[in-house]
Amino acid sequence: MAENYPTKSDGKKGVQDAQVAVVMVPLPAQGHLNQLLHFSRLISSYNIPVHYVGATTHIRQAKFRVHGFDPVTVKNVHFHEFPTPPFENPPPNPNASTKFPNQLIPSFYATIHLREPVCSLVCQLLDTNHRRVIVIFDSMMTWVVEDVPAILNAECYCFNSISAFHMYSLFWEIKGKPYQAGSELYEDIPSLESCSTPEIWELWRKQESLMGKVSSGELYNSSRVIEGLYLDLVAKENDGLNLWALGPFNPLLSEQNKESNKHHQTLYWLDKQETNSVIYVSFGTTTSLSNEEIEELAIGLEKSLQKFIWVLRDADKGDVFAGEERRAPLPEGYEERIKGRGIIVRDWAPQLEILAHTSTGGFMSHCGWNSCMESISMGVPIAAWPIHSDQPRNSQLVTKFLKVGVIVRHWACRDELVTSEIVANAVRTLMASPEGDVMRKRASELSTVVKQSVMDGGVNRTKEKEMAFTEDLDDSGLNTSFPSANLSKNLGLKEDHYPPVEVPSYWP
């Protein structure tokens, strides 16, 4: 029974004796790899072994880029590198009319070859010391785990790498945009087709029919203090879907415990700056700006007269370690002119530590959900520049619903060049105006409430609560009630007891 399961404070049993193991199956794109790797750290901290799977290059990518903790030191996370056939690895096109990262599609299709090794791993874990295996898979990796539910004592849960706000907007759009609670926030967002490409929709269609057959419930890297209304609406639209908001997955860093990347140049520089004086500029790993866009952004940051850290790099390829990357040009003499006021980073930057630093007062972002959750949990307001996919809706959540950001690029104007004047005005608004100060205060308050919800309820990391996977095991060790569809019992990750939100103006 559950009381026999070892917890972090139970020194009598080791992780090898754990009755339950977890298998993580991420989509091989950085924002997806990163979220499930952080979630692996959380689960493993309760002496639950986690097996993180993928192609060799993507396991290497996930470990190389993780920030906020060192995966080598997390003994309960085991990485499995499975071979996949070679796939095309085209470079991103910075001049594409649609910015969706189609260059990643070949690597997504290659994941179908993980189906057999993942199934074999689940069987192997059940044949050893584990009585139950929980498989947590990215919603775009359903075809990899479709055989798992047929295995006795194995169960799957779908991880949605997007916000509940975005998910509900899908239902709202499909139903003809009826007016329901909060739906007015979507009025200026066009159809989904404008946010992606036919190639990714085709990939989704190939897996959509499997979802209801595979998953016992859905997980979100979110929190009820951020998206309570929309989590409830998503569950309602799915006839009472089993749904859990277990975020934030990322470590909640403080100035005292962020030493893992202390050697990075940006952190040394931030140490010398005033509180809330620097805006961090990064568009994630799936966006390549054109030379013209880069020039306007560069001039806009210069015109703003604000301090900044700008991560200027191309979007990822399917294999980030193969081939050379484009080095986008900056205006002549630019880096000399901004010396002392700005830093250009051409490689990987420790985003979590930068956002956690007291000198960082704003974040110009594409509004990918991973970046949104990191920024919200660190209390940093956002200058929203959505590019594709769920980002336009996330920008609405940040600016209209949570009121912790300002729009830089209006989605209705997505085909127009964002000029240097637009950039400068947005940066000044966020960093040097009373309006920006209000957003910063609101972001700080929201961060505090999110952190309190983690301490007082949800994934209780301070009181070391037991993760009781074994609730329904009989004396023989066989589960008698699969699918249990009860993650509170299976994972012990309860998210129903958050303290009330103290800032009612956040809610529509």
Q: Order of strands, edge to edge, in the sheet holding 243-245?
A: 77-82, 50-55, 20-25, 132-138, 154-160, 215-220, 243-245
User: Tokens for 497?
Assistant: 């007891």
The residue from 58, 67, 138, 390 that is catalytic is 138
CB atoms within 10 A of CB 489: 17
Residues in the chain: 508
With residue 135 as reference, give the H or E element that holds it.
Answer: strand 132-138
Structure tokens at 134: 């929980």
Annotated catalytic residue 38: no
Which pair of tokens denotes residue 75? Answer: 């003994």
474 is known as an active-site residue: no
Question: How far is C-alpha 283 from the geometric centre of its chain's CA atoms?
Answer: 14
Segment 386-389 long-range contacts (CB within 8 Å, at least 24 positions apart)? 386/411, 386/414, 387/99, 387/283, 387/286, 387/287, 388/98, 388/99, 388/100, 388/101, 388/195, 388/196, 388/286, 388/287, 389/100, 389/195, 389/196, 389/286
Please identify which residue in the block is written with the tokens 């959900």.
369
Separation CA 417–CA 248 (nearest Å): 34
8 Å CB contact between 16 and 48: no
Phi, psi dihedral angles at 53 (to 5 degrees): -115, 155
Q: How many CA atoms lie within 13 A of 452 on its CB side?
A: 13
In the set 32, 67, 264, 357, the catalytic residue is: 32
Beta strand 77-82 with 50-55 is parallel
In terms of DSSP bridges, do strands 132-138 and 243-245 run parallel, antiparallel, or are they unpaired?
A: unpaired
Q: 115 near 144, Cβ under 8 Å?
A: yes
| Structure tokens, 439 | 């957003």
Report the C-alpha gap between 262 and 284 in whole angstroms.
21
How many H-runs (helices) and E-runs (strands) does the chain carry?
18, 13
CB 245 within 8 A of CB 222: yes
- Give strand ranges (E) for 199-296: 215-220, 243-245, 278-282
Cα(161)–Cα(477) distance, integer angstroms: 33
**How far is the C-alpha of 86 from the C-alpha of 67, rounded, in Å?**
28
Residue 34's CB: how many other CB atoms inside 10 A? Answer: 27
Q: Active-site residues: which are they?
A: 32, 138
